[in-house]
């Protein structure tokens, strides 16, 4: 068990990324009750946007100079795609049966993936992404990569910023009102269309940060990176209570840590040798989801309103 | 609402699964003609090629296609089979088993096709074998390494039965590749503690299992084992486990897509042990994406490097002169030899029939028998097949990444 601190740290880093992406699912769901399955691809396009910025910077540019520009570039791409998806794919279906926007989301997800695969130069294989050096810091028995520090710092800053925005700003309070009751909110003079666009934009922004963090952490990005990450983030959002932004982050962290511990330790339990290891981490992640939903159907931090949970 | 949304999620997943398996319908452009006529004046026979020609693995797939093309051009120029002109029909399987099966069906329906070379991927081969067997048409793969394709599912326990008598291969199997890797790791590289990981796929799990068994048999210690999922990107828990196992070698059975991430995360965590794999990681992409982390990593691959073969120099010259795309390094020579085996078999069949080609159904069956008896020197070594359809040429090579390039460090044959 002496590897426990390291494995917890591994889970924490992974979970921060899930959490950042999960924010996008949960915000959109909280306001329009739509599961935006194209969100994983918005995360992916953010990473490609950032890479495009990096490749167009002059050779020899320091990553510390490039990183802010990459974040801006990635954010522009992700936010534009998220808003475009809302405007052209989801808004026309706002009053359609719920299945219609869901299928649209899947179609959009495939379209974005294939578009990058076909049109981004060299994207048929994984593309290398710059990293913040690969020498870890040693803290006790734990190794921490600089890229992971960026990830955690980004997650913390984004969460604090989002919490402050939602609680204190006028727009934030309008978002809360729209989530609680869109019709009444509209009657009170809130432009719900604008609120919905903002929800998509914030989701896209967080996805772009996660996309850059993922590129830094793994040193590569690929056209299909959004599929699995999106699925896990969606799980995290449901685990934490979909519709609740703190729940999304908490769900991400719980999921990441559970995955890390499951793949590290379940094989050590006598009689469970065959059910442990990295290959089973997804299975245990979903077992956790099922157990939590059986005990707390609204998710860890979900509201008790049946319609919202 | 909760139940409703769960229902929706279920339907979404089902739709996703359907999308993945959806098969594009392919226009059937098989040319119906009586190519099986007995006229010896000038018949045109087609050799089919099936390989991934677009998308992932396409560089290697194109090398396979043009390897066959050069063999056919050479045979036509030398008039190897008097009265017969050969041509190539190359179909793209995108590395998908379902598409491979459609291609196989298309080839056997075409009355001018006498035999096929391909595919590249063992998983695709599984879906094609039955189609060729039913049509009695010869299929020679220059790249499949999974032992079960020729020796049956129970090959590992020693009960070898050949499932399809129409299937042959000019590349040797993972049974030899895994053993050769274990031998190199233990005896040449002096590694004593190996951590073995695989991706749970037919190719990867098979290869890793053989390596583990042979490495332990040589006296090496297995420091630990684990499995990963294809498509995973985060291997931090695995890396922590490897670090604590104090292994001096990581053996990975799988493809470069996962291996490049594992080696990068391993080295970043300060674990400076080489990653060793099979021909699945023997790719320039692996080095390009993993960068410096790949330095010192090892890979086995079937055959010897084409560039070092004296008999293959003309082949390489032609390949470069014609500016064919793709990578001929690993399987180009074997593809050339596979096509030549079919061409030679056609000649044998015609010679036995008084210089005429029998009716197509009969000709295909006789070509299968003639390929079984093939015995000639190809450009990548001697070509002949054992009772399972496996090549008797069991050459293998260990490559190592040195200064950002795969460099051959040891070639040899492995016989268990």
Instruction: Write down the pLDDT at residue B416.
Output: 66
Torsion-angle region of B408 (φ positive above 0: left; ψ -120 to 50: alpha; else: beta): beta
The torsion defined by the Cα of A89, A100, A282 and B213, in degrees rounded to 10, comes to -90
Instruction: Write down the pLDDT at residue A302.
Output: 80
For residue B131, being part of any structural domain is answered with yes
Q: How far is CA A65 from CA A16, A132, A136, A152, in A?
A: 24, 11, 21, 20
For residue B38, being part of any structural domain is answered with no
Q: Residues B102, B236: one domain? A: no
Of how many residues is chain A composed? 309
B22 and chain A: CB distance < 8 Å anywhere? no
For residue B25, being part of any structural domain is answered with no
Instruction: Write down the pLDDT at residue B33.
Output: 41
Encoding tokens for residue B208?
Answer: 């890793």
Judged by CB atoms closer than 8 Å, whether chains meet at B233 and A228 is answered as yes
Judge whether residue A82 has pLDDT over 70: yes
For residue B354, being part of any structural domain is answered with yes
Indicate which CATH number applies to the domain containing B288: 3.40.50.2300
For residue B223, being part of any structural domain is answered with yes
The overall average pLDDT reported for chain A is 91
Q: Residues B166, B242: one domain? A: no
Task: Read off the pLDDT of residues A269-282 as tens digits, 9 standing for 90 and up.
Answer: 887 877 878 888 88
Q: Please count the structural domains in chain B.
A: 2
Q: Residues B61, B168: one domain? A: yes
Provide the shortest C-alpha distance from residue A103 to chain B (in Å): 7
- CB contacts < 8 Å between A and B, how many? 112
Residue B39 in contact with residue B307, Cβ under 8 Å?
no
The number of beta carbons lying within 10 Å of the beta carbon of residue A121 is 8
Provide the shortest C-alpha distance from residue A306 to chain B (in Å): 7
* pLDDT mean for each 10 residues of chain B (416 residues): 50 47 38 42 90 84 95 94 94 92 96 95 92 96 92 85 95 91 96 95 88 95 93 91 94 92 93 94 89 94 84 92 87 94 95 91 94 93 93 92 94 82
Which of A219, A226, A261 best tests the B interface by mutation, with the highest count of B CBs <10 A? A219
Task: Find, among A228, A275, A224, A273, the residue nearest to A255 by Cα.
Answer: A228
Residue B187 sits in which domain range? 175-302+397-413
For residue B111, being part of any structural domain is answered with yes
For residue B27, being part of any structural domain is answered with no
Task: List the Cα angle B19/B260/B288 in 5-degree steps.
Answer: 105
Task: List the Cα angle B184/B189/B192 in 5-degree steps.
Answer: 95
Residues of A in contact with B233 (CB under 8 A): 214, 218, 225, 228-229
Q: Judging by beta carbons within 10 Å of its beta carbon (0-12, 13-18, 19+), is residue B200 exposed, middle or buried?
A: middle
For residue B29, being part of any structural domain is answered with no
Q: Residues B194, B94: one domain? A: no
Encoding tokens for residue A149?
Answer: 């520090």
Q: Residues B77, B57: one domain? A: yes
Lowest mean pLDDT of A70-79, A299-308, B248-257, B319-328, name the range. A299-308
Residue A309 in contact with residue A243, Cβ under 8 Å?
yes
User: Which residue on chain B is closest to A309 by alpha carbon?
Assistant: B2
Q: Residues B197, B87: one domain? A: no
Q: Residues B330, B291: one domain? A: no
Residues of B in contact with A130 (CB under 8 A): none
Q: Residues B63, B87: one domain? A: yes
Q: Residues B167, B183: one domain? A: no
Residues of B in contact with A260 (CB under 8 A): 236-237
Judged by CB atoms closer than 8 Å, whether chains meet at B269 and A143 is answered as yes
What's the ipTM?
0.84
Q: Judging by beta carbons within 10 Å of its beta carbon (0-12, 13-18, 19+), is residue B400 exposed, middle or buried?
A: buried
Instruction: Write down the pLDDT at residue B17.
Output: 46
In sequence order, what are the beta bridge partners of B406?
B401
B25 and chain A: CB distance < 8 Å anywhere? no
B86: phi then psi, degrees, rounded to nearest 5:
-100, 145
Q: Residues B75, B200: one domain? A: no
Instruction: Write down the pLDDT at residue B5.
Output: 54
Instruction: Check residues A245 and B2 and name the one with the higher pLDDT.
Output: A245
Q: Residue A298 and residue A240: Cα distance in Å, rounded? A: 8
What mean pLDDT is predicted for residues A70-99? 94
Instruction: Write down the pLDDT at residue A57.
Output: 92
Crossing angle of helices B313-321 and B332-352, in 10° steps, is 110
Three-state secondary structure readout of chain A: CCCHHHHHHHHHHHHHHHHHHHHHHHHHHHHHCCCCCCHHHHHHHHHHHHHHHHHHCCCCCCHHHHHHHHHHHHHHHHHHHHHHHHHHHHHHHCCCCCHHHHHHHHHHHHHHHHHHHHHCCCCCCCEECCCCCCCCEEECCEEECHHHHHHHHHHHHHHHHHHHHHHHCHHHHHHHHHHHCHHHHHHCCCCHHHHHHHHHHHHHHHHHHHHHHHHHHHCEECCCHHHHHHHHHHHHHHHHCCCCHHHHHHHHHHHHHHHHHHHHHHHHCCCCHHHCCHHHHHHHHHHHHHHHHHHCCCCCCCCCCCCCC
Judged by CB atoms closer than 8 Å, whether chains meet at A35 and B8 is answered as yes
Encoding tokens for residue B396?
Answer: 């293998």
- Domain coordinates of chain A in residue numbers? 15-253
Lowest mean pLDDT of A49-53, A253-257, B39-43, B141-145, name the range. B39-43
Task: Read off the pLDDT of residues A162-211 as tens digits, 9 standing for 90 and up.
Answer: 999 999 999 999 999 998 888 899 999 999 999 999 999 999 999 999 99
The number of beta carbons lying within 10 Å of the beta carbon of residue B352 is 11
Look up tokens 């490097």; give the residue: B305
Residues of B in contact with A259 (CB under 8 A): 237
Q: Residue B99 and residue B380: Cα distance in Å, rounded? A: 29
User: Which residue on chain B is closest to A104 by alpha carbon?
Assistant: B12
Of how many residues is chain B composed? 416
Confidence of residue A105 (pLDDT cuts 50, 70, 90): very high
Residues of B in contact with A102 (CB under 8 A): 8, 12
Instruction: Write down the pLDDT at residue B19.
Output: 44
Encoding tokens for residue B257?
Answer: 């897509």
Q: Residue A87 and residue A74: Cα distance in Å, rounded? A: 20
pTM for this model (two decimals):
0.80
Task: Find, among B50, B19, B227, B25, the residue nearest to B121 by Cα.
Answer: B50
Residues of B in contact with A109 (CB under 8 A): none
Q: Residues B150, B194: one domain? A: no
B410-416 long-range contacts, CB within 8 A, separation 24+: B410/B184, B410/B188, B411/B304, B411/B305, B411/B308, B412/B180, B414/B172, B414/B176, B414/B177, B414/B179, B414/B180, B414/B183, B415/B176, B416/B175, B416/B176, B416/B179
DSSP reduced 3-state for B167: strand
Encoding tokens for residue B207?
Answer: 């290869």
Q: Residues B373, B408: one domain? A: no
Judge whether residue A61 has pLDDT over 90: no
Encoding tokens for residue A276?
Answer: 């442990």
């Amino acid at each position: 068990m002496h590897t426990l601190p390291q494995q917890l740290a591994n889970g924490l880093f992974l979970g921060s990324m899930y959490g950042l992406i999960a924010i996008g699912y949960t915000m959109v769901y909280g306001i329009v009750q739509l599961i935006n399955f194209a969100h994983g691809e918005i995360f992916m396009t953010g990473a490609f946007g950032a890479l495009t910025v990096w490749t167009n910077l002059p050779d020899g540019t320091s990553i510390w100079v490039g990183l802010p520009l990459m974040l801006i570039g990635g954010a522009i791409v992700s936010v534009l795609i998220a808003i475009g998806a809302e405007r052209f794919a989801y808004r026309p279906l706002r009053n359609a049966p719920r299945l219609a926007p869901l299928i649209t989301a899947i179609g959009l997800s495939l379209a974005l993936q294939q578009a990058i695969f076909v049109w981004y130069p060299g994207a048929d294989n994984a593309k290398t992404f710059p990293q913040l050096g690969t020498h870890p810091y040693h803290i006790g028995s734990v190794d921490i990569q600089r890229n992971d520090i960026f990830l955690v710092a980004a997650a913390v800053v984004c969460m604090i910023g989002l919490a402050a925005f939602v609680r204190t700003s006028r727009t934030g309070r309008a978002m809360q009102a729209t989530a609680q009751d869109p019709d009444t909110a509209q009657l009170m003079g809130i432009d719900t269309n604008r609120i919905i666009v903002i929800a998509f934009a914030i989701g896209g922004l967080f996805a772009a940060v996660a996309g850059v963090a993922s590129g830094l952490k793994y040193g590569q990005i690929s056209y299909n990176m959004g599929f699995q990450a999106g699925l896990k983030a969606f799980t995290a959002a449901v685990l934490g209570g979909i519709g609740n932004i703190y729940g999304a982050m908490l769900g991400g962290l719980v999921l990441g840590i559970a995955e890390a511990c499951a793949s590290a330790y379940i094989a050590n339990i006598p009689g469970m040798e065959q059910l442990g290891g990295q290959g089973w981490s997804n299975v245990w992640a979903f077992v956790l989801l099922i157990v939590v939903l059986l005990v707390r159907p609204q998710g860890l931090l979900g509201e008790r309103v049946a319609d919202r949970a | 609402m909760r139940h409703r949304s769960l229902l929706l999620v279920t339907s979404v997943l089902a739709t996703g699964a359907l999308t993945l398996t959806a098969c594009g319908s392919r226009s059937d452009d098989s040319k119906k003609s009586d190519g099986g006529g007995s006229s010896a004046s000038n018949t045109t026979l087609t050799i089919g090629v099936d390989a991934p020609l677009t998308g992932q693995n396409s560089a290697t797939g194109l090398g396979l296609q043009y390897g066959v093309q050069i063999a056919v051009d050479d045979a036509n120029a030398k008039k190897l089979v008097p009265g017969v002109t050969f041509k190539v029909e190359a179909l793209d399987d995108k590395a998908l088993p379902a598409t491979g099966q459609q291609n196989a069906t298309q080839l056997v329906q075409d009355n001018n096709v006498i035999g096929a070379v391909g595919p590249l991927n063992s998983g695709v081969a599984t879906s094609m074998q039955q189609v060729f067997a039913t049509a009695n048409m010869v299929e020679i793969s220059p790249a499949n390494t999974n032992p079960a394709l020729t020796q049956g599912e129970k090959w590992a326990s020693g009960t070898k039965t050949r499932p399809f008598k129409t299937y042959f291969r000019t590349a040797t199997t993972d049974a030899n590749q895994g053993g050769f890797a274990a031998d190199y790791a233990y005896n040449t590289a002096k590694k004593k503690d190996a951590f073995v990981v695989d991706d749970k796929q037919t190719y990867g799990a098979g290869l890793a299992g053989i390596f583990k068994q042979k490495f332990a048999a040589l006296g090496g210690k297995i420091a630990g084992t684990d499995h990963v999922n294809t498509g995973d990107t985060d291997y931090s828990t695995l890396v922590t486990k490897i670090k604590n196992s104090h292994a001096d070698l990581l053996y990975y059975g799988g493809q470069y897509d996962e291996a490049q991430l594992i080696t990068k995360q391993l080295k970043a965590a300060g674990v400076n042990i080489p990653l060793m794999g099979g021909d699945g990681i023997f790719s320039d992409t692996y080095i390009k994406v993993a960068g410096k982390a790949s330095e010192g990593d090892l890979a086995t691959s079937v055959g010897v490097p084409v560039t070092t073969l004296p008999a293959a120099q003309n082949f390489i010259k032609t390949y470069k002169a014609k500016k064919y795309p793709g990578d001929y390094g690993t399987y180009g020579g074997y593809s050339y030899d596979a096509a030549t085996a079919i061409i030679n078999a056609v000649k044998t069949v015609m010679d036995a029939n008084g210089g005429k080609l029998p009716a197509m159904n009969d000709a295909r069956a006789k070509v299968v028998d003639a390929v079984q008896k093939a015995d000639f020197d190809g450009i990548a070594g001697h070509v002949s097949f054992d009772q399972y359809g496996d090549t008797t040429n069991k050459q293998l090579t260990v490559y190592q990444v040195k200064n950002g390039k795969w460099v051959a460090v040891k070639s040899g044959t492995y016989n268990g």
